[in-house]
A and B are shown apart, each in its own frame.
Chain A
Amino acid sequence: MKLAIFRHAEAEARSPSGRDAARAVGPRGRRRFERAVRGVRKLGLEFDLVLHSPWLRAVETADLLAPAVRGAFRVTPHLVRAPTAALLGEMRGRAVAVVGHEPWLSALAALLVTGSPRDASRFPLGRGGMLLLEGAPAPGTMVVAASFPPRALRRLGR
């Protein structure tokens, strides 16, 4: 399996309601992530499944990813907490994308690559960046195929 881990695009500093979950992707974040998605497509990635968190900035980022999706979108509560077996169990397909938040995404990458979420600091993710893993979605079994900081992905999409 190819697993692309995306951190949400740049969001506004605060939401009208003041709730962190309600922070939307800002105009700059939108523009930049649209360019990043063109980069994703240039890499030949097409996702069978996109798992995303219920928080607005992740929902909107997943929506922006649509040009690189030929399968289903699924909202999951398991992306707004530390990674669990339940989240890994949802990863089914040949190419899966997850869109979520830090620090849980770095912990997810660490769990899948090293077997321990405590190694999260070795897998930093910038907003709108992508980490591409390969292998079976189980602890300690995936390898890092590529790491794209946000700027690199955008440059690819020019």
Chain B
Amino acid sequence: MPVAAAGDDPEGVHQVRVAAGRLAVWLELGGREVLRDDLRALRRCAAEVRDADVLLARRPPAAFAARLAERRERAREAMLPHLRGPHARALRAALALLPAIDASAAERALPSFRDRVLRRGDALAARRPPHDEDFHALRRAVRKLRYALEWLRTDAAAVRGLQQVLGELNDLAVEQRVLRESGGARAFPRRAAMLRRRLLAFRRRALLAWRRARPAIASLCGGERP
């Protein structure tokens, strides 16, 4: 959090979001309800800055990059009171006091993470055409399953590739949204058209990746429930 607040290294914001996501999964594995909403709020407060960092790293045209940088600065100003505020300190204090979770209870909770991915993925595959929200829901479920597997030191290879494709698709969707919100679709028509084409191609790729990954995911933790 201090690195994210200092603002010199984009990795700081990214790591705050990753750590908050991993800790929320750890709490869910332990059957705890508390602190997950606080972690979600922490992830959310850093989302806009992270989105801008990702888009800036893709080397957009200079004029669009300038708009992105302004947007990032505004988002950073909004994020800082959350990162430096008393609630963030209370959250850190509470997390530091929590005892370890029961490993066998966590093992028992793991299938619910797998089942959530299967539900989201099957809903996505059944939709004609799939909505962006369906991809988004699958991406979040896959991320949580990966974190849960990693907490339990279980091989997460089955989900890593799928998470990568869904992440790239999400980056494109975010860029399209940001372009639209900052009036860039008219100012940068070629980039907007390129994004539309790439989004269509990546949606197909993501759907294919899901179909390929599904059997391996279904076989995790002893196989799918009948």
Contacts and interface: CB of A to CB of B under 8 A. Distances in A.
Interface stretch (A31-39, A68-76, A124-132): A68-76
A77 interface: yes
A73 B86 contact: no
A7 interface: no
Given A59-B97, A59-B98, A54 B34 contact: no
A156 B91 CA distance: 33
A59 B89 CA distance: 15
Contacts of A63: 32-34
A24 B99 CA distance: 9
Contacts of B94: 54-56, 59, 75
B97 A72 contact: no
Given A63-B34, A69-B33, A73-B37, A55 B97 contact: yes
B90 A54 contact: yes
A85 to B, nearest CB: 14
Interface residues of B, number: 17
A21 B36 CA distance: 20
The interface residues of chain A, by DSSP majority, are classed as mixed
B34 to A, nearest CB: 5
Contacts of A24: 99
Q: How large is the interface on A (under 10, 10 to 19, 20 to 34, 35 or more residues)?
A: 20 to 34
B35 interface: yes
Contacts of B93: 21, 54
B211 interface: no
Contacts of B89: 77
A154 interface: no
A95 interface: no
A62 B87 contact: no
Contacts of A2: none
> 9 tightest CB-CB pairs across the interface, nearest first?
A54-B94, A77-B90, A66-B33, A54-B90, A56-B97, A77-B86, A54-B93, A72-B37, A63-B34
22 contacts: A21-B93, A21-B97, A54-B90, A54-B93, A54-B94, A55-B94, A55-B97, A56-B98, A59-B97, A59-B98, A63-B32, A63-B34, A69-B33, A72-B37, A73-B33, A73-B37, A74-B87, A75-B34, A75-B35, A75-B87, A75-B90, A76-B90
Given A56-B97, A76-B87, 11 more contacts: A24-B99, A53-B90, A54-B90, A56-B99, A62-B34, A63-B34, A66-B33, A66-B34, A75-B38, A75-B90, A77-B90
